[in-house]
Amino acid sequence: MNKSELAKAVAEKCDTSPKNAVAIIDAAFDVIAETMKAKDSVTIAGFGTFATKERAAREGINPSTREKIAIPAKTVAVFKPAKLLKEL
């Protein structure tokens, strides 16, 4: 399912136009992204939790040259599904 298909399905469930559904979906994604950027989490009951996680710096190997390289620390997005979603 892509974004337009999602918008169409949301529009049908909410009895609104697909254009309004796209605006609602975009706003929800923007709020989730801004919250995660602030290093906070978003929990949606019955669905899951969107959060960020710090990955430590580590040493890796370049597969083509077998040379050791330093992989820097970074922040990554994570999603932990709720129990209900896992059961579906």
Say which residue the tokens 């999602």 belong to. Answer: 6
Stretch 80-87: mean pLDDT = 93
State the burial class of residue 76 (Cβ atoms within 10 Å of its Cβ: 0-12, 13-18, 19+).
Answer: exposed
C-beta separation of 88 from 61 below 8 A: no
Structural domains of the chain ordered from first start: 3-87 (4.10.520.10)
Both tokens of 44, joined, read: 């949606």
The yes-or-no verdict on residue 21 having pLDDT over 90 is yes
Beta bridge partners of 55: 74
Q: For residue range 47-75, what is the model confidence (pLDDT) as tens digits?
A: 999 999 999 999 999 999 999 999 999 99
Which pTM was predicted? Answer: 0.78
Both tokens of 25, joined, read: 């979906």
Say which residue the tokens 């430590």 belong to. Answer: 56
